[in-house]
């Protein structure tokens, strides 16, 4: 695994702390478990699907804090009367924590567990004041207003 040292860049940059934190968190989170997909169904709707075979609803936790979506899986203590001896164990059941950095105005709408996949539906909701708007040229409401001109005089 590669490890990058960003400390030389800290000396010559100002205001990029968040960018370096994102890069650090990306390099730390490269274990690949659990596998996931990110889908985009249209301009504003997204879905994250995580393969969480063997985990139940009570074993999973989803949290959004400061633009970071965190999905945590913690297996409950199963009261086993007999120890199980696996001949082959291909289904991973270890605990995990997976983080996703959400863009501005992206909100979690729903989450459901179905057939071993955890689906998290996201939607980008841009406020009206942030949306682009078309400005009419020679609008009638401005035609009746008189344009005022300020004249400067030499002292």
pLDDT tens readout for residues 79-125:
555 677 888 888 877 899 999 999 888 999 999 999 999 999 999 99
User: What 3-state DSSP class applies to 72?
Assistant: strand
- Burial of 147 from C-beta contacts in 10 A (0-12 / 13-18 / 19+): exposed
pTM of the predicted protein model: 0.65
Which of 98, 87, 107, 96 minimizes the C-alpha distance to 46?
107
pLDDT of residue 17: 63
pLDDT over 90, % of the chain: 38
Instruction: Please give the domain boundaries of the chain with CATH numbers for all domains.
Output: 35-77+89-127 (2.60.40.790)
CB 27 within 8 A of CB 2: yes
**3 state DSSP class of 24:** helix
How many CA within 13 A on the CB side of residue 54? 14
Confidence of residue 25 (pLDDT cuts 50, 70, 90): low
Residue that has been written with the tokens 């650090």 in this structure: 24
Most confident of 13-17, 69-73, 136-140: 69-73
């Amino acid at each position: 695994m590669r490890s990058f040292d960003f400390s030389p860049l800290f000396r010559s940059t100002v205001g990029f702390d968040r960018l370096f934190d994102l890069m650090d968190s990306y390099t730390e989170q490269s274990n690949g478990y659990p596998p996931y997909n990110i889908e985009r169904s249209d301009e504003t709707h997204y879905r994250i699907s995580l393969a969480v075979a063997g985990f139940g609803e009570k074993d999973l936790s989803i949290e959004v804090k400061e633009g970071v979506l965190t999905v945590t899986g913690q297996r409950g203590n199963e009261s086993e009367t007999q120890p199980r001896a696996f001949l082959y164990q291909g289904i991973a059941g270890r605990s995990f924590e997976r983080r996703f950095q959400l863009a501005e105005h992206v909100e979690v709408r729903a989450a459901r567990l179905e057939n071993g996949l955890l689906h998290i539906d996201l939607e980008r909701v841009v406020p009206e004041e942030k949306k682009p708007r078309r400005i009419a040229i020679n609008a009638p409401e401005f035609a009746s207003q008189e344009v005022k001109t300020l004249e400067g005089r030499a002292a």
